[in-house]
Amino acid sequence: MYNVAIVGGGPAGIFAALEITKLKPDWKVILVEKGVQIEKRKCLLREGYEKCPTCKKCGLLCGWGGAGAFSDGKLTLTPDVGGHLLDYMPRKSVEELVKYTDDTYLKFGATDEVFGTDKEVFADIERAATLAELKLVHSPVRHLGTERSLDVLKNMQDYLTQKITILYDTIADKLIVENGCVKGFITQDNQKIEAEHIIIAPGREGADWLTHEFSKNKIGMVNNAVDVGVRVELPAPVFEPITDKLYESKLIYHSPTFGDEVRTFCMNPYGEVVTENYSGISTVNGHSYGNKEFRTQNTNFALLVSEKFTEPFKEPIAYGQHVARLANMLAGGVLVQRFGDLLDGRRSTPERIKSSIITPTLSCATPGDLSLVLPYRQMTAIIEMLYALDKIAPGTASRYTLLYGIEVKFYSGRVKLTNDLETEGVKNLYAIGDGAGVTRGLIQASASGVHAARIICSK
């Protein structure tokens, strides 16, 4: 019998464990992780495979560190970005949590440098953005880079290995709930884990499982918006005047045609586009290295369109998967198209890509036609956003700009939670991080773990 059992060894689960061991050093804590230790994690694509082999457990997403392990390690230091924690507590509390979480990353080896703190520089870029009808969100960023993220998470793994029980290669399967109170869970290999409090932190990778298990136990879900879009890749000099100063610019636009919100997301100067695999579906993402030696010539970022659906629609995750599957169906994986080809109504071909001024960093992407994949509404919003961005970063709407599809965020369903992040309906069961739909980034995912841990320890 444990005091606390945690499902998922991503940033949310890790920070919950760190906080509990700090506040209650005598408590028995267990963390169950589907993947392996961080030093054993492997992504065959990163090691030179041409196509994503769609491993049963995606090496990019599963294992100690979760999706954070090979992430770009951008710690966004504001409550306004990367999640919905402001819906659960006052701004001051979220600010305190963000600061505390950032300090913990620093303690475990994060880099000192923070981008975007110079107010005058920000004001200049904000002015240019306003003239282009774009809203620039103030979001200072500490950039770890992929290699430093791995080091920091490894330090946390080494620290926690001494303090708690960690089961790797173990998948939580069925929750045990009695009289409205959680008692534990059964793993896929039939181990029964019993604990007074359970924290579920399975990330986007486990969002499907969470939705299924929670609905079985009559825990409500609220539909989040569905975020679907593309990853844009262009020559780094196009965005240098902005990325050199802010590193990442969070820009929001409302498409004139449909009024939908489009935003930039996860900007990676001199980075690489990567593919990730959610239960056999290939989607896109991006990252960059802190070490200048590994820099590429390109910058990439996502353009995501937020769609809010109305009743009776209840399946935002399935919707996102469906659109991504279409790209996979046409391209056998990720699809790439030049912006000019999209506008000309023709598919990109290997020859056309070759004759461009940009070399795709995701070489396994198949040239094709995104207009056969993305709904007209989202496609229109993306095209309009590219033209708006072109006003502050000339060259964005170049015919050579590459668009990879599909980027989709499966944080769509949000669990109905109290302000303590405890589920409404089942006592002592907490849901945190991206999988619960509460967060969508490293800092808030980690902060949600700290918050749940503090609540549990205070009970």
Ligand X SMILES: Cc1cc2nc3c(=O)[nH]c(=O)nc-3n(C[C@H](O)[C@H](O)[C@H](O)COP(=O)(O)OP(=O)(O)OC[C@H]3O[C@@H](n4cnc5c(N)ncnc54)[C@H](O)[C@@H]3O)c2cc1C
> From CA 285, how far away is CA 274, in angstroms rounded?
5
Q: C-beta of 300: minimal distance to ligand X in Å?
A: 11
For residue 31, the minimal CB distance to ligand X (Å) is 9
Which residues does 322 contact at the CB level (< 8 Å), separation at least 6? none
Q: What share of the chain is helix, strand, coil (3-state, %, to 5)?
A: 35, 25, 40
With tokens 């050093």, the residue in question is 25
Among 59, 184, 333, 435, binds ligand X (CB under 6 A): 435
Interaction of residue 266 with ligand X, rule CB under 6 A = yes
Rule CB under 6 A: say whether 445 interacts with ligand X: yes
In the complex, the smallest distance separating the C-beta of residue 80 from ligand X, rounded to whole angstroms, is: 13
Q: How far is the CB of 76 from ligand X (least distance, A)?
A: 6
The C-alpha R_g of the chain, in whole angstroms, comes to 21
d(CA 418, CA 414): 12
Using DSSP, state whether 413 is helix, strand or coil: strand
**316 binds ligand X per the rule CB under 6 A:** no
Tell the smallest beta-carbon distance from residue 276 to ligand X (Å).
5
**Choice from 278, 433, 437, 452 touching ligand X (CB under 6 A):** 433
Count of residues touching ligand X (by CB under 6 A)? 45
Q: Whose Cβ is closer to ligand X: residue 61's or residue 385's?
A: 61
Residue number with CB closer to ligand X (250 or 440):
440
Q: Smallest distance, Å, CB 242 to ligand X?
A: 17
Q: What are phi and psi of 226, to 5 degrees?
A: -95, 130
Query: Residue 376 and residue 373: Cα distance in Å, rounded?
Result: 9
270 binds ligand X (CB under 6 A): no
DSSP calls for 312-325: T---HHHHHHHHHH
User: Under the criterion CB under 6 A, does residue 367 sit at the interface with ligand X?
Assistant: no
How far, CA to CA in Å, does 67 sit from each of 54, 82, 204, 283?
Answer: 16, 14, 8, 13
Q: Which residues on adjacent β-strands are paired with residue 287?
A: 272
Residue 11 within binding range of ligand X, rule CB under 6 A? yes
Compute the distance between CA of residue 278 and CA of residue 282 in angstroms, rounded to an integer.
7
Cα(53)–Cα(333) distance, integer angstroms? 10
State which of positions 58-87 bind ligand X (CB under 6 A). 61-63, 66-68, 70-74, 76, 82
The reply on whether position 8 binds ligand X by CB under 6 A is: yes
Q: Which is nearer to ligand X, 62 or 110 (CB)?
A: 62
CB-wise, 16 or 374, nearer to ligand X? Answer: 16
Site string for ligand X, 402-431 (x = CB under 6 A): ------------------------------
Does 250 help bind ligand X (rule: CB under 6 A)? no
**Cβ proximity to ligand X, 365 vs 388, nearer residue:** 365
Kindly provide the residue ranges of all beta strands, DSSP E only, lying in 18-152, ordered along the sequence: 29-32, 74-76, 114-115, 135-137, 141-143
Binding footprint of ligand X on the chain (CB under 6 A): 7-13, 32-35, 61-63, 66-68, 70-74, 76, 82, 171-172, 201-206, 209, 266, 274, 276, 285, 287, 433-435, 440-442, 445
